Amino acid sequence: MNKLKLHTPDFTEANIAKLAELFPQCMTETKDENGKLKQAIDFDLLKQELSNSLVEGGQERYQLNWVGKKEALLTANAPIAKTLRPIRAESVDFDTTQNLYIEGDNLDALKLLQETYLNKIKMIYIDPPYNTGNDFIYEDDFSENTESYKLRSNQKDEEGNRLVANTESNGRFHSDWLSMMYARLRLARNLLKDDGVIFISIDDNEQANLKRLCDEIFGEDNFLANIVWQKKYSATNDAKGFSNLHDHILVYQKSNSFERRLLPRTEGMNKPYKYDDSDGKGLYRTGDLLVKSFSQSAVYPIINPNTGEEYLPAEGSSWRASKETMQKWLEENRIYFGKDGTGAPQLKRYLNEVQDGRVPTTWWTFEEVGHNDAANKELSALFRSKTPFDTPKPSSLIRQMLRISTKNNDIILDFFSGSATTAHAVMQLNAEDGGNRKFIMVQLPESCDEKSEAYKAGYKTIADIGKERIRRAGQKIKQENDLMAQELDIGFRVLKIDSSNMNEVYYNPDQTNQQDLLNLVDNIRADRSDEDLLFQVLLDWGVDLTFPIVKQTLNEKTVFTVADNEIVACFDRRGGITEGFIKQLCEQKPTRAVFCDAGFADDSVKINVEQIFKTLSPHTEIKTI
């Protein structure tokens, strides 16, 4: 039930609405005095619409622009002081898996992954909010300069990005949506390998804008396809206009070095190859020897070697090959003259001569890759209840993308992970073809509606659903592929985005007064574990976050060894690091070593430690926090 307005009409809004009806091309978006988006009129365009001659104005240029674009770029480039904290209790096979599930704001996640995964991701798939008036978008804070953003990100994690509904009543502004996507896609491009590719699901509301946005970020020349996916199998009879049966999937490569892989041939493609002459060449089908395009040089008689009968092409037609080639085919018994030897000549086409796969097209039917209803049933079967998630994608759809773009050891990223369909698809395809693809999922812990089936089932956030889906899907895939899937990696390390492990004094010592220094004896936050510190070190050094980690006790101190001595770390904070302990570490000849400043009793001990490494393990790089 609508409420009474209880105020006089806003004639300005009414006039803008009338102009919008007459001149929709003159509508734009701007900010009011409070910084909120509102609809407005582009008066330069309106003047031109109402003039019979050229109206002078600003310089014309071809570009995509919107309110907040510069601020979105600023925020994409702004540093943050955050980290990833490992959560073993929610992980599966933490010590051995090569998969990651990152819980938190995906803009922060993309920034945190820049060092470690720069130019390493082969394929990205995202299914972002569609801006339908019901979906939520990230309301990024673009009002601050770089330095204040950095400080706030360090000190006040709870004031980070928020989700808001870009509703019809809010105008469903394109600017908000474009700003959200612009910052994230710029960072995502950095992560792609030179031969990497990105697939983006979208509907008609923002498809045109997304295409232009990606043209700017990835380059027009790197556009590969606008795939149309038939997401429904029947029309909606009560649709107000046209019944929408499709979504779009935009595909861009990072550079022209991407190599598209062929899809498996279908049974229908192989079915015509049903003849066999027992000549050792295998199954074949017959094809017409005539071509529609006429060539006088290809009009000549051919003779059936079995009957001596002479054949000419039908009037107005010509043979599909030269006389020399036709003679070669005759000698190889590739010309078929019918079962009794008196039929029209045709060419034998052998199955073993066709390419192993089929070229992907831009039209994907629900019979081939599934539809929305199949996705709901897939998820319901896993959770053995009503679907706990709105509008999931079928894993078969994403497997199609994976087949086209990835192979054995590639890394796949989805930073709008949702119900983690991408992770499900990666594990399933690995089980099918013996691959070892790895996934990185990123999902904000967005709260589930208390009225939803998910909330009733005990899932408080979308991230909770995603993690549980991976657990259940992994077990199901192993059960269904008992022999092949025993070595299948169905695990994942859960990492949660949080404020830095370091206290503010670590980043801004000049802004800390004497009393604060007395209170901050340790520059590390009190609630952080040694493993928390280790993962921040991995991020800082750009080390793979899935490398194996061995925890051991050496000289009564906890030592972490990463990837067979790639890094050794001891986070003793009580001044207990001794020369004897360091000599034992040097025996491992680590590539890198890291300690806490508080682990050294004084500066002289710290100097001695450096000298010991120079003598016993001179190639080791040493850092302290």
CA-CA distance, 174 to 180, in Å (whole number)? Answer: 10
pLDDT above 60: residue 115: yes
Distant-in-sequence, close-in-space partners of 566: CB < 8 Å, separation ≥ 6: 543, 547, 590, 591, 592
**Which of 45-59, 125-139, 576-590 is the least confident region?**
45-59
Q: What are phi and psi for residue 406, nearest 5 degrees?
A: -130, 165
Comparing 408 with 16, the larger pLDDT belongs to 408
Q: What are phi and psi for residue 197, nearest 5 degrees?
A: -145, 150
Which of helix, strand or coil describes residue 413? Answer: strand
Q: Do residues 162 and 440 lie in contact, with contact meaning Cβ atoms separated by under 8 Å?
A: no
Q: How many helices (H) and strands (E) does the chain have?
A: 21, 28
Half-sphere exposure of 583 (CA within 13 A, CB side): 4
Q: Residue written as tokens 């994690």? A: 157
Q: What is the pLDDT of residue 4?
A: 37
Mean pLDDT of the chain: 86
CA-CA distance, 29 to 348, in Å (whole number)? Answer: 63
Other beta carbons within 10 Å of 256: 10
CA-CA distance, 590 to 554, in Å (whole number)? Answer: 15
Q: What is the pLDDT of residue 191?
A: 97
Q: What is the pLDDT of residue 486?
A: 76
Please give the distance of CA 506 from its chain centroid, rounded to a whole number: 34
Angle at 387 between CA 385 and CA 388, to 5 degrees: 95
Query: Using 50, 70 and 90 to split pLDDT, how confident is the model at 176?
Result: confident
Query: Using 50, 70 and 90 to split pLDDT, how confident is the model at 145?
Result: very low
Which of helix, strand or coil describes residue 353? Answer: helix
Query: Using 50, 70 and 90 to split pLDDT, how confident is the model at 48?
Result: confident
CA-CA distance, 584 to 81, in Å (whole number)? Answer: 34
Rounded mean pLDDT of 189-194? Answer: 95
Buried residues in 302-322 as b, exposed as e (16+ CB within 10 A): bebeeeeeeeebeeebbbbee
pLDDT above 60: residue 158: no
Q: What is the pLDDT of residue 489?
A: 96
79-to-151, 153, 453, 506, 508 alpha-carbon distances in Å: 9, 9, 38, 16, 15
Q: Residue written as tokens 């430690």? A: 609
Q: Do residues 539 and 557 lie in contact, with contact meaning Cβ atoms separated by under 8 Å?
A: no
Query: Using 50, 70 and 90 to split pLDDT, how confident is the model at 134?
Result: low
**Which of 22-31, 347-356, 418-427, 508-517 is the least confident region?**
508-517
Strands (E) across 81-235 are located at 82-86, 100-103, 121-126, 136-139, 162-165, 192-202, 223-230
Q: What is the pLDDT of residue 168?
A: 57
Domains annotated on the chain, with CATH: 23-56 (no CATH), 79-265+359-497 (3.40.50.150), 269-353 (no CATH), 506-624 (no CATH)
Comparing 617 with 277, the larger pLDDT belongs to 617
**Beta-sheet pairing, 100-103 with 493-499:** parallel
pLDDT above 50: residue 519: no
Q: Do residues 199 and 247 lie in contact, with contact meaning Cβ atoms separated by under 8 Å?
A: no
Comparing 251 with 66, the larger pLDDT belongs to 251
CA-CA distance, 170 to 173, in Å (whole number)? Answer: 7
